[in-house]
Amino acid sequence: MRGHLLQAGVKYCSARRILTKASAMEGKKVLITGATDGIGKHTAARLAKLGATVLLHGRNQHKADEAAKEIQKKIGGQGHVHAYAADMAVLGQVRELASRVQKDHPSIDILINNAGVFPERKILTEDGFEQTWAVNVLAPFLLTSLLVKSVKERIINVSSISASSRIDFDNLNQEKGFSAHNAYSLSKLAMMMFNTELATRLSPPPTANCLDPGTVNTKMLLQGWGPCGIDIEDANHELYLATSPDVANTTGQYFVSDRPRRMPSIVQDISARQRLWNILEEQSGETFPE
């Protein structure tokens, strides 16, 4: 059912406006995290092929360099790909990534918070946070807070149709016992709440939207659920949000198969969103600029 729904979404996507001209993104700069494989790498390649300058992030510098070289070779002279490395589980490295990006590119057009993990056991980061929470929630919150004034057009946050419908503020760090699926679902609900609150605090541009990237046979999906999705080459939902003129002025929405969808009722709870926001500021040690 789930795979069928999102395969239908791919067909719908093809009927909507995704830029295809090789120079369509020329002059645009896009930072995409977690782009050394899977949907992130596919999206990075598509954006570069459209002429964008892609700032490709990976956890390992060698792997990021190899991915950048591979994409650059494939697209020829259409775009430019630059590799950056940082362990998103380490807040200090997230800060260093933001600093390097700002030094090299004082402004960027699009930020795609794509990086994510699905660890099967509880792992605490060196900052003391459960790894799923650290990578899937804290890292994008911190990176966005550090770069938000540099982003000119769009911020895209990756959530999931697997997101939970409730949040236990006393179990954000899996204090009550670890479940890989619960930790992941919690992190994706938190990204919806973060994105919605972010959109209320921004005066577009930039816009801020989140999405389910599709049920795609990535390493993460195979690890958590098995082969139940579509091919990576068909996963163009992040590309749609990054390039389509249809959503250029849309903000604060959650997209599934390129269409806005209702979010869990807790996302509409202003006090809950603000409580989460305050926790993320405290955990990250960073206050969002006004």
Q: Which residues are tagged catalytic?
A: 184
The DSSP result for the chain, as a single string, is: -HHHHHHHHHHHHHHS----STTTTTT-EEEESS-SSHHHHHHHHHHHHTT-EEEEEESSHHHHHHHHHHHHHHHTTS-EEEEEE--TTSHHHHHHHHHHHHHH-S-EEEEEE------SS--B-TTS-BHHHIIIIIHHHHHHHHHGGGEEEEEEEE--TT--S---TT-TT-TT---HHHHHHHHHHHHHHHHHHHHHH--SSSEEEEEE--SB--HHHHHHT-S-SB-GGG--HHHHHHH-GGGTT--S-EEETTEE-PPPGGGG-HHHHHHHHHHHHHHHT-PPP-
C-beta of residue 65 within 8 angstroms of C-beta of residue 83: yes
